[in-house]
Structure 1
Amino acid sequence: MLIAGAGEAGARAAIALREAGWNGRITLVGDEAHPPYERPPLSKAVMQDAADPGPTTILGPQRLRELDITLLAGRSARRIDRTAHRVQLSDGVVLDYARCCAAAAALWFHLDGQGRLLSATGVGPIGKVAREIRLAERLIAARAHPDPDALSSSEHRLKAMLRAA
């Protein structure tokens, strides 16, 4: 089982698989450099950089060994080929898998009938989501009409849209 997204959802999925009796290989792939941890709720204080709640590790090195879970930290899944059962990682490595679960961070953008960005919500690493939502708020203030395909990306495309707005 390859789990794309080594945050809280991915870690909990890996633990649940082991607890349910899955005895095959489990690989967690995540772009953060540290082991999976619980994300505290996103609050106004966090959005304004006034608070930095400390993380609670879910799967540290010892627990990963106990559960026989491989963590590939600092890399993300860039391309999933469901037909070939392969995932290409951000560093170019290609992994084969029998089954794959997507458990990555996500942002949702809400557009009006004319395609104007109205709001953005997200789940995932607090710092990343907060940065991207702040960028989206600037797009909203600029009354931007972003290309819907560009909204499927993350921070670098949001910045490009902001420059164009």
Structure 2
Amino acid sequence: MKLPVDKKRTIITFIIVDIIFALLLFVSALDLFLDPNWSLGQFGIIGLFVVVSVLMLVLSLTRNFYVIEPKFLVVVKGRKELYYYYNDIIFIDHERTKRKKVLTFVTNQGHVRYLPFDHDGKIYEACLEKCHNLVDEQELLRRFPAIKI
């Protein structure tokens, strides 16, 4: 089952990052943009920035999704696919996951992963249903004492 990442959260994050890059562009070419006699170059830079921003937003909305398979969860980010086998997930932080709407889990190698929810939170439900090797927090800290969640 293919599940897109929550569009609202993606758009809000993208707008924040885009504003930061716009400010960096403005500051890096401050003399160019403060010149009272604007030429085609200034408008071209702004137009190019807007076109690239819209293109990146469309790509981030269409190329980021999850696929729930019977034995693993596939996270597709652009061209990259990440596979998380349910048997490799040993801990799910339920409190943080419900509070932040971000699936927070630890793999059997001690890596902490954060996956933003899809619109309905089905990846969380799938992990709860299909992850059978879950341990409690004390056991997790015994196995991986340096881990920070």
* Alignment TM class, shorter chain as reference: under 0.3
More helix, by proportion: 2
TM-score (norm 1): 0.25
Task: Report the structure number with the largest CA radius of gyration.
Answer: 2
